[in-house]
Structure 1
Amino acid sequence: MAAGLVISAPASGVGKTTLTLALARAWRNSGLRVQCFKSGPDYIDPAFHAAATGRASVNLDSWAMDRATISHLVSRGTDADVVLAEGSMGLFDGVAARGVCGTGATADIAEMLDWPVLLVIDPSGQAQTAAAIAAGLRDYRPGVRLAGVVLNRVASPRHEALVRRALLDAGIAVFGALPRHAEISLPKRHLGLVQAEEQAEIGKLIDEAARFVAEHVDLDAVLQSAASWSPQPAASGVNVTPPGQRIALARDAAFSFVYPHMLEAWRAAGAEISTFSPLADEAPDPGADVCWLPGGYPELQAGKIAANARFHSGLRTFAETRPVHGECGGYMVLGTALTDADGVRHEMTGLLGLETSFAKRRMHLGYRLAELAAPMPGHQAGARLRGHEFHYSTILAQPDTPLAVVHDATGAVIAETGSRRGQATGTFFHLIAEDR
């Protein structure tokens, strides 16, 4: 039987990921089997989780996934000793309108799984007020239980003592307090964390975080606060149809934003996946029956992608007879041109007429519900797909036939409809699940 715990905070940027990685590695180093999950639509943290635990991590999403899907994904923790679900944003932060079984908030997962929440509190610029925030989070939603608090970035022993006393007076356990320690901060990039595979020193960084946290946090007390948990067998798996039997998947530093549960679902359905690197000027496997270009950071590699003639010609040849689909960054590369942040225009593959620019950055962020007006790989016209969009590009032209009618989480129609032309299709959202 595993011990289940959710790691959350009042807001983003407080230290959830660092604490999750540190606890996971520290317990793994002590001989425990640790399984991590990520609540919400994050492509990057699961790779860090895997680096810390040696086990694949997947996303759990109450807005896009039904309970059967979440139960199926969580069941991979059956053989673990400790199961950690890292939250996103603040504990109760989600969208205004309920999705499949929730708003996408971390609290939905905590309540659904009946796991207590370990709060990370950054009391910078405050003292006793930190206890009021923690108490408010504890009492906000009856079905969500608070295990206790770890303080992060405390300024001094006196500061720590003030916050600790206030929390204990409020009846909230304090498992530890971390002084400021820049060496364990994970680097940032314009879409969030640098990817795990880009961090040559990731193992050393996680080891240092584990050592630092073990020095300042009562790991045994944290473990004892977790809920005893035994997953129930799910009636069905992830509701995702593979786009083909043999899938050529673009996979490198520019094309890496794929939800792990998607690839697992494709393989579980019998699909074979072969990878190729557009950055290395590779073409998709000519033996594949569909090509999939995921999102990533093509805008940071636009010049190299534009210059790689073998990739361009191979992809165009492939698309003459077989479907090609791109998500977000992959969609942009299927387009005519991409203008980078310096205002330089780079020719892309031209399978679609889409033209995008990063010269004037504008955030596009949120859940998406799309009803397909035409087929795309793995899904027929009329299918309702749930996904998430996150990018800073501006559409300069989107002249092709719209692929779908796309709504945000409030039900409002948005302009990012996706496109189709011949065998090529693309969307700005990353697919999470199809409505059953």
Structure 2
Amino acid sequence: MKISVIGCGYLGAVHASAMAELGHEVVGIDIDEAKIAALSAGRTPFFEPGLPEVLTSALATGRLRFSTDIADAEGAEVHFIAVGTPQKKGSHAADLRYVDAAVETLLPHLNADDLVVGKSTVPVGTAARLAAVIDASGSGATLAWNPEFLREGFAVQDTIAPDRLVYGVPAGPAGERAVAQLNSVYASAMATQTPLVVTDYATAELVKVAANAFLATKISFINAMAEIAEVSGADVTQLADAIGFDARIGRRFLNAGVGFGGGCLPKDIRAFTARAEELGRGESVAFLKEVDAINLRRRQRVVDLTVSALDRPVHTAKVAVLGLSFKPHSDDVRDSPALDVAVQLRGLGADVVATDPQAIENSRSRHPQLSYSPDIEGALRGADAVVLVTEWPDFKSIDPEWAAGLVNTRTIIDGRNTLNSAAWRAAGWTYYGMGRP
């Protein structure tokens, strides 16, 4: 099929490359000339495992190209809207300017029976509003909503072989045609019996934000239990293991630590809360405000734990921070708990030296006041405390005996509960976990 992807940020670049790899003829469109030049040359503007290989492979076939001209979308049968929906400044609501602009600029280039497919995460009610705009244009095009469920670090896999597909479509023949077109787009996934939910616009929009709200709630729940464990002497890791055996609960996402971050989960639950309040049902998701509050408290807990663990005033101490990205296998530092901890410690006067396999440059552009080391050894050397805040494999595999020969004081705060505490203590370290004795 001929496909256009409007917006070539994280979501759009992955989607365009994966669709071309699956055999479709794809044009990716974005107003950022530098981004388009990089993608056209086979360079990814961000770190995502597997994407460089898929991008260069798709470009080599000739099925993938990039452009800054929206007119190049003309002739495509399916147009994916993959622009960002950031949090509005001074508000928890989502900023829909980019989604609205993408649809408005696309309208003159739509043909009868074209399908416009929203993939951006938007407040419920957005699709119905945009469908009315498209209908009023007289183009004869139809709108569908097809939420994405990408995990950073696994985005290519999640696009090529999704764990489920959701189509929000209108009723009647237009909806039936939209389903057929999307089934053609995702023919390879359909051939493997990928679960499919065909529903209305509102449900499709809610699926994504509800999923994120549930995951955020589960993470904050175990972090709330960690707060209780810390004052009662319990071990939250064993607690999570025990309740995780219950099939109704499950063990995944029950890892206490410094909390969640990134460009999706925090802003999506805030936007969900804001939209519920606009709909007069704010009380239905009022608990998400506490989910957010618990999450932010865990960052402060790591900072407080570090300060109390030091054998000297914080403003005279060197602190090694292991991790800057919000999660491993990513260079994304948006709302990153790791970077936030580093910045807070620096604000208290500590000499902070941070390292990360991928996120140093993104961090430096936001917080040049921090010191950065390209390797673990440089960060650890002479440190009075070590704080692990992103569970990169490189950090999890550090030999505590080797690290002991580099630091000034053998004190480690494991903000992700990811290290073998017994091994570190055996090497003479004072080990602090999150919600663990």
Asked if these proteins are the same fold (TM beyond 0.5), I'd say no
> Which structure would you say has the larger Rg?
2
Normalising TM by the smaller chain, what interval? 0.3 to 0.5
- The higher-RCO structure (CA 8 Å, 6+ apart) is 1
Normalized against structure 2, the TM-score is what? Answer: 0.32
Q: TM-score, normalised by structure 1?
A: 0.32
| Larger strand proportion of the pair | 1
